[in-house]
């Protein structure tokens, strides 16, 4: 009964606000969740980078597996940037809540770049991986420069 009420409440909040941060019990959970997703994303992204930059011998299957994780992770952080997390301790800059359309644009750019990296990874072509890895890294950096302390 209790669980069912919570689900109905969560569904209602999500429908009203249009965002998934209502899924978190506390705003602090939302911050931990996005930091965790971005951390996991980084761990898998740098494994691709090591091969794209020639530090580690290219292995198409490894790149493909890591790109799939990066692709999944790239979609997860964004719903957590609700206004209730603005004043919590994190590296998020206030511009995130002042320029919501621009911030959304930066998210979409990164997700598009990561999708291209995933497509390249599935072709097994190192040159395509190098190119799309560089573009994805630039999209990560652009967002960090603007929105991360
Ligand atoms: C990473 C990571 C980023 C990007 C960025 C690229 O591995 O964590 O934020 O690459 O550093 O410039």
- Cα–Cα distance for residue pair 142/106, rounded to 1 Å: 8
Task: Compute the mean pLDDT over every residue in the chain, rounded to the nearest whole number.
Answer: 90
Give the DSSP letter of residue 53.
T
**Atom of ligand 1 at shortest distance to CA of 144?**
9
pLDDT of 26 reads: 95
Q: What is the pLDDT of residue 23?
A: 87
What DSSP character marks residue 54? T
Helices (H), 18-125: 27-52, 60-74, 95-98, 100-123
Q: 137 pLDDT exceeds 90?
A: yes
Residue nearest to atom 9 of ligand 1 (CA): 140
> Cα(112)–Cα(129) distance, rounded to whole angstroms?
14
Atom 3 in ligand 1: which residue has the minimum CA distance? 140
End-to-end, the C-alpha distance of the chain in Å comes to 43
Residue 21 contacts residue 79 (beta carbons within 8 Å): yes
pLDDT of amino acid 6 = 45
Does any ligand 1 atom lie closer than 6 A to the CB of residue 19?
no
**Integer Cα distance of 45 and 142 in angstroms:** 16
**Mean pLDDT confidence for 128-135:** 98
Given a contact cutoff of 8 angstroms between Cβ atoms, the answer to whether 32 and 79 are in contact is no
Q: Match 């652009």 to its residue by tokens.
A: 142
Taking the CA of residue 38 as reference, the ligand 1 atom at the shortest distance is 8
**Does residue 37 register a pLDDT over 90?**
yes
- Per-residue burial over 39-77, b if 16 or more Cβ lie within 10 Å, else e, is eebeebbebbbebbeeeeeeeeebbbebbebbbebbebb
């Amino acid at each position: 009964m209790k669980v069912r009420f919570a689900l109905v409440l969560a569904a209602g909040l999500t429908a009203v606000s249009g965002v998934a941060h209502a899924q978190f019990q506390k705003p602090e959970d939302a911050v931990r969740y996005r930091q965790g997703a971005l951390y996991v994303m980084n761990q898998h992204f740098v494994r691709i980078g090591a091969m794209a930059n020639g530090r580690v011998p290219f292995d198409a299957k490894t790149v493909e597996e890591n790109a799939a994780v990066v692709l999944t992770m790239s979609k997860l952080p964004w719903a957590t940037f609700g206004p209730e997390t603005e004043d919590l301790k994190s590296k998020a800059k206030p511009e995130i809540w002042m320029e919501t359309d621009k911030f959304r644009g930066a998210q979409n750019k990164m997700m598009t770049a990561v999708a291209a990296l995933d497509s390249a990874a599935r072709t097994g072509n190192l040159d395509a991986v190098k190119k799309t890895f560089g573009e994805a890294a630039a999209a990560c950096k652009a967002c960090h420069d603007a929105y991360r302390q």
